[in-house]
Homo-oligomer: A and B are copies of this chain.
């Protein structure tokens, strides 16, 4: 018996799309068919996810009469670059994929980012479907249409806002996900609680162990609630002019960590967790967050298996790296800072000395109080 299908609708007018969440959805070609323009897809995956799920997913589609081309990329953030993206274009062209061919990204955030940007730019845009196989991709990258590749001088610097027609989040794929990556996904889940959903934060405090143990109902509920939170924010602000910036809690610091260590050393979610701890510390210094709420945030992140201290890059290097961040506006750093648990603000009115103090307090080798 198939388990219950959870569906979140991302409301973006003509570009609205459903996110289906549930077990064994990769077998459900019936969920895919209504979203294809012609019965031809190109599945983009990587050499870790491909051997696990590609045959099964492709077979289900082929049984439904869909022609399937395949691109298998090398795994990892280090390959989120132009030469690897070009492997997708090479295949699309060699296989005579047309404007009506649907590109399907089967994998984690990197595959989704690259598949999405390839779909956005191949022939100036072809239909796109996401089949995320990591928790991070299911709760974060699957909503919002952000796609990108990295540049040696900065992360996610080249990309597009491009919406999928469908997201198929098969929770059964999380069984093969390394525990460290599951934790990294939980960083984003916790983030939704911090920035806009106090009730969800409290629920997570009760269910964090069940989630780490992959308890199916808890997983489906957490993914659905996360997607719903993100979908509400994205629907209000598709191209990140306003409230959507709240989703970047921990990201200004986090991107500095990822860039400073070199892509792929820390997982994105790990960097975001340490970044969220830094943001909470900054809020605490401003009196926007009680010491107790800051401690609740750090404790939940730690129970999720996440770091709450950044690496020892040295405070000046953090600031230098942050100056390259996309969230910089007219030379000013912008921060997302919690105001209590379940609310947050975006602000550029932060003295550099306070930022330095918050980094020092929450990074290894810093001036921990």
Interface, chain A (partner B; CB < 8 A): 38, 82, 86, 89-90, 93-94, 96, 98-100, 117, 120-125, 146-148, 151, 153-154, 156-161, 239, 323-324, 326, 328-331
Task: Report which of B153, B159, B161 forms a contact with A90, defined as CB distance below 8 A.
Answer: B153
Cα–Cα distance between A90 and B329 once the two chains are bound (Å) = 19
Instruction: Determine which of B86, B125, B161 lies in contact with A125 in the assembled complex, contact meaning CB atoms within 8 Å.
Output: B161
Q: Please report the C-alpha to C-alpha distance between residue A158 and residue B98 in the assembled complex, in whole angstroms.
A: 12
A255 to chain B, nearest CB (A): 12
Main secondary structure on chain A at its contact with chain B? mixed
* Closest B residue by C-beta to A98: B328
- Name the B residues within 8 Å of A329 (CB-CB): 98-100
Chain B residues with CB under 8 Å of A99's CB are 326, 329
Chain B contacts of A123 at CB under 8 A?
157, 159, 326
Please determine whether B38 and A330 come into contact, CB atoms closer than 8 angstroms.
yes
Would you list 16 pairs from A and B whose C-beta atoms are within 8 A, ordered by A residue? A82-B82, A89-B151, A89-B158, A93-B153, A98-B330, A98-B331, A100-B330, A120-B160, A121-B159, A121-B160, A122-B157, A123-B157, A124-B147, A124-B160, A124-B239, A160-B160
- Please state if B158 and A122 are interface contacts (CB–CB under 8 Å): yes
Least CB distance, A333 to chain B, in whole angstroms: 12
Which residues of chain B come closer than 8 Å to A122, judged between CB atoms?
157-158
Closest to A121 in B: B158
